[in-house]
Chain A
Amino acid sequence: MPQTTPHLIRSNRKAPNYKLRFIILTALAAACFLLSISAGRYGITPYEVIRTLFSGIIPFDQMTYVDWSAVFNVRLPRICAAFLVGAALATAGAAYQGMFQNPLVSPDILGASAGAGFGAALAIFTHQPPVLVTVFAFTGAIIAVFAAYTVSRLAKGNATLSLVLGGVLVGGLFAAGTSYIKLVADTANQLPEITYWLMGGLAGIQTSDVIFALIGIAIGIIPLIILRWQLNVLTLGDDEARSLGVNTRRLRLITIICATLITAVAVSVSGIIGWIGLVIPHFCRMIFGYDYRRLIPAAIIFGGAFLILVDDVARTAASTEIPIGILTAFIGAPIFAWLLISGGKRS
């Protein structure tokens, strides 16, 4: 019996040093976090940032009230929110891509963002309290993803294509609904609120928003972290995954609920921010490979750090704040085009 396949022998490729890559990524994200506190119209040096942050623990010189206020009331909540939202969208994107076996799906393409946007607009229009805005956004997102998936299952033909088209269809429907609400909304108060909300932005984030986002996103993201090995198996498709002993129906249900929950929480805190869920998982795969054991943690750190950086640009680049959703599109679309053209690792 032939022991080797002579014409096919390839060099013994070594496993990349993923640990080192994780350390570098985490260090960069931490640096990004600290430097972002000092970035902004009100100048604080990085040294002052560290001094202020640790002033409770280590007795540094008395800081000024303005320093304290800038760090703790304005910038820190905003940076934390940026991290949470970025991490949530990137992780949701990675989870959707795995469960739909399709590297081109993302929360926005599946219509989740449009659904959440419609839900939020409806809530603002009907004068709901902020908590219900989130609930409406979540419900809208769930309905949209479910509808897109159902349409793709009923459609005949290529599954990948019909899923993307199903998302476009449902997204278009919800976007039309949102437009209608904007048309009939009260132009003095509701319309600006809805419009600003839909553009996406992190200005005016309160500590309470951060706590809400932290809890909501943690509830959705922790199961995904725990189940990340099973997610690997799910990417093989239903038959293979079941033959390997995975309860695919239950796993799909958990994944879709968790990914949609974190999308909805993120969208309800920041408004619609596109592209993160599509682009960041691709970058993470290029650096950390396809294994969800690494992909999920990488998406959390990378996505969070990326949105912190984009938000820095949003609040410092121009004299008026640029809505972050516009920026991620400006940055994300060219990057994605480059990814598609250069190929990278085929996925």
Chain B
Amino acid sequence: MNKLIISPSPHVHGEFSTKRLMRDVVIALLPALLVSFYFFGFGAVKVVGLSVISCVVFEFLIQKFLLKTAPSINDLSAVVTGLILSLNLPSNLPWWIVIIGSLIAIGVGKMVFGGLGNNPFNPALVGRVFLLIARPVEMTTWPLPLTAVTPDATTGATPLAIIKEGLKNGLTIDQIKESSDYTFSYLDTLFGQIGGSLGEVSAVALLLGFAYLLVRKVITWHIPVSIFAAVIVFSGILHFANPDRFIDPLFHLLTGGMILGAVYMATDYVTSPMTLKGMMVYGTGIGLLTILIRTFGSYPEGISFAILFMNAIVPLINKYMKPKLFGEVK
């Protein structure tokens, strides 16, 4: 017999480990990835591969040579960052922009704060927003899905951008829907027949992943559902107040990476609140801000900014949204 091991209780451990949680996120993203490969072809494969590999490599290099700590790429968190970043990019993005985005995501988004667990903002979103501001043209030239490409149109605007552009030109929502740009149905947004980034095209694939994450208890329903609820309520009120100016809630839900953001980016452990109450507040805030930015801001899409903004408020939420103590007496 070896030396007995002594430790304080408990002496058994549950099934969770950081690696398992991250692996489950990767698995949950697989349907969305496959759909994007199907619609965008080799371009999508290239962007995803490049983004994942460069994120992992950057993490490894920074840990090894700058922070001089034991590299922890085994926990797969860099893979998740890379995947989520790539799902936010258009499939025709030049390779060097993808690499710069990865560097910003890992370097500025995560490592400067001390690595996994210490970053206040979602790393993938930091990378994405950096690219969106630094290279707006490349970042908003969305290739059409291979199935929707016609000889004279290989790129197109996203549904939200079409609406925004139309409204700017003084059209009403109904007029925009009848215009020639508006070539898709709600069914298309559900399955991915629209222009956009890799991950925002197919709602069904993303929801499949959501179900998987819930079953595996990786995340709870609180953040995504409160985001969806806030979006539906807020955009619903606007829509009923003025249907000519504001599009219906369903459109908001299905387009512009809403599901990708709500399920995979807002729920990032490190940058979301710690309590269920806090998660609801956080989710509601994201939903409201997204609609606010989409309908009144200058960018057609708002969820990235909304999440980053709410990330900044998370410490405050954690401070005030404490769980109610067992048997608490006031």
Is chain B a partner of chain A in the same complex? no
Interface residues of chain B, those whose CB is within 8 Å of chain A, are none
